[in-house]
Amino acid sequence: MRTLHVGLRVTDIERSLAFHTALGYEVAGEVPRTGIGHLTMLRLPGDPFVSLELVHDPAGSAVRPGTVLSHLVVAVESMSALVAALAGQGVDVEPPTSPDGSADFLAAWVTDPDGTRIELVQWPPGHPGGMTAADLPGWAPLRGALSPGGRSG
C-alpha cells in the first residue's frame, strides 16, 4: 500500500491555484463534474505523480476551517484481499467500482471512525505507482504551470 494523494476542499479555485502554484505545484490535469465536485490535480515539478487534489464544488457553501480535507487516496495491491481483510476486522467498505469499466482498475471507499473518507485504488497491471496526467481523461498533458492571470496551456 502507498499513499497516492490528498484531496482538499476549496472555496475559490483560482485563489487556491494561485496559492499552491506559488508553493511550486503545477497543474497535472482536471476531472470536471464528479460526484464530489470539480477536481484539479497538482504535482510538484519533476514528479510524474499527482500529490494534491483540489476539490471545488461551485454550488457548495464556503469551506469552514477544519473541514478542508476532502479525502485521502491509498493505492492497494489487491482490492479483493484488502476488502476481505477489512471485513474480517468489522470495517465497512463500499462495494468496489471500476472507473473505466475494467476488472482490474478498482476504487472503493471506507470512512474512518472520525468521518475521514479514504479512497482505496487498485491500479491495473503495469500502471505507474501514482496518478499521472495520462489518468485524467480529456486533459491535455501539462505544458506549463499557472500564470498569475490564470491557466496556461
pLDDT tens digit sequence for 41-95: 999 989 999 999 999 988 876 777 667 888 889 888 999 999 999 998 888 899 9
**Residue 54 is assigned to a structural domain of this protein:** yes
Cell numbers representing residue 29 in the block: 490535469
How much is the average pLDDT of 20-34?
A: 88
**Residue 93 is assigned to a structural domain of this protein:** yes
How much is the average pLDDT of 123-133?
A: 89
- Shortest CA distance to 121 belongs to which of 141, 100, 139, 137? 100
How much is the average pLDDT of 90-106?
A: 92
**Residue 152 is assigned to a structural domain of this protein:** no
Task: Give yes or no for residue 102 having a pLDDT over 70.
Answer: yes
CATH number, residue 11: 3.10.180.10
Domain that holds residue 41: 2-134
Mean residue pLDDT across the chain: 83
**Residue 153 is assigned to a structural domain of this protein:** no
Cell numbers representing residue 82 in the block: 484488502
The number of domains in the chain is: 1
What is the DSSP code (8-state) at residue 70?
E
pLDDT score for 148: 32
**Residue 146 is assigned to a structural domain of this protein:** no
pLDDT score for 35: 85
Torsions phi, psi of 99, nearest 5?
A: -60, -25
Distance CA 147, CA 17 (A): 10
Distance CA 105, CA 108 (A): 11
**Residue 21 is assigned to a structural domain of this protein:** yes
Task: Give yes or no for residue 153 having a pLDDT over 60.
Answer: no
How much is the average pLDDT of 98-125?
A: 88
Q: Are 43 and 26 a contacting pair, CB within 8 Å?
A: yes
**Residue 148 is assigned to a structural domain of this protein:** no
**Residue 65 is assigned to a structural domain of this protein:** yes
| CA distance between the termini of the chain | 34
